[in-house]
Amino acid sequence: MSLKNKKLFLLDMDGTVYEGGRLFKGVNEFLGYIESSGGQYIFITNNSSRSVKDYVKKLSDMGVRVTEKNFFTSVQATALYLKEHFDGKRIFCMGTSSMVEELRNSGVDAVTSTSGKIDCVLAGYDTELTYQKLRDICYLLHENRDIPYIATNPDRGCPTEYGLVPDCFAICEAVNYAVGRRPLYIGKPDRFMIDCAVNMSPFKREQALVIGDRLYTDIAAGVNAGVDTVCVLSGESTREDIEKSEIKPAYVFEDIRELLSKIRE
Ligand SMILES: [Mg+2]
């Protein structure tokens, strides 16, 4: 299906619509085009340290018109996964207080204490991590070798103004060195988030388009879900990376502005 017929736009944020606090040129025009053509845009993020409210504020501050409906985070995806597979069960969470609060608000029995019966262990990108939390998760994973163990997102590092800091995967690898167990990861590149976003929308899979700057998360998630993909060169990937990679986007553009001009052609 051609770009002109796309209706559901699933956008990555960092490196795709902004860098640091700077919104890329053409983003607001692009979102305006989507609205005026009867489409829908959703920002899909693997970052599990921030809540949807934080993102609404961040993008609003940059001058983008958004509400909570325009976001889908790995925490929201994890809540849906937990309701599907562990409904009514007690979930031990190693994550930020905003992650725990968001899970509780969506009906998950999220606990941060190891006492009592625990049915599943969850790790997130915990920017409030302490050694005690690492001890607690190791205790649970040693105590019950078969306990289901999941994590919000498989990102190795999270970009900051001075470079990468340990994200969820790096934290889980520290745990793995101690206990010899790795979690099942929910976020991109798994297809789960893309599937949820398509299913929650009024549109068909063929009408969806995944737009992102990372091949092994954004583009891979789209490919895994059978959705067309656009790789923008405004973030991490270069044309050379795309040539070398086995993960191929359907389209490559310099940035959102070029994507918009191609759709309008
Ligand atoms: Mg990105």
| One-letter identity of residue 239 | R
The CA 156 to ligand 1 mean position distance, Å, reads 13
The full set of domain ranges for the chain reads 3-46+188-264, 84-185
Cβ atoms 51, 11 nearer than 8 A: no
Range with the lowest mean pLDDT among 157-161, 201-205, 251-255? 157-161
Q: What is the gyration radius of the CA atoms in the chain, in angstroms?
A: 19
CB atoms within 10 A of CB 222: 28
Confidence of residue 159 (pLDDT cuts 50, 70, 90): confident
Say how many Å lie between the CA of residue 109 and the centre of ligand 1.
Answer: 31
Residue 158 CA to ligand 1 centre (angstroms): 10
| Ligand 1 centroid distance, CA of 238 (Å) | 13
pLDDT tens digits, 131-147: 999 999 999 999 999 99
The alpha carbon of 144 and the centre of ligand 1 are apart by a number of angstroms equal to 36
pLDDT band at 95 (very low <50, low <70, confident <90, very high): very high
What's the CA-to-centroid distance between 53 and ligand 1, angstroms? 19
What pLDDT is recorded for position 101? Answer: 95
Give yes or no on whether 3-46+188-264 and 84-185 have one common fold.
yes
- Structurally, at CATH architecture level, domain 84-185 sits in 3-Layer(aba) Sandwich (3.40)
How does residue 263 score in pLDDT terms, banded at 50, 70 and 90? very high
Ligand 1 centroid–CA 15 distance in Å is: 5
| Distance from Cα 235 to the centre of ligand 1, integer Å | 6
**What's the gap in Å between 19 CA and the centre of ligand 1?**
9
Query: What architecture (CATH level 2) is domain 3-46+188-264?
Result: 3-Layer(aba) Sandwich (3.40)
Averaged pLDDT, 35-61: 95
Measured in angstroms, how far is the CA atom of residue 155 from the centroid of ligand 1? 11
* Percent of the chain's residues with pLDDT above 70: 100
Rounded CA-CA distance 223/211 in Å is 11
pLDDT tens-digit series, residues 11-24: 999 999 998 789 99
3-state secondary structure 170-195: HHHHHHHHHHCCCCEECCCCCCHHHH
Interval 55-90: pLDDT, tens: 999 999 999 999 999 999 999 999 999 999 999 999
Q: Has residue 1 got a pLDDT over 90? A: no
**Structure pTM?**
0.93
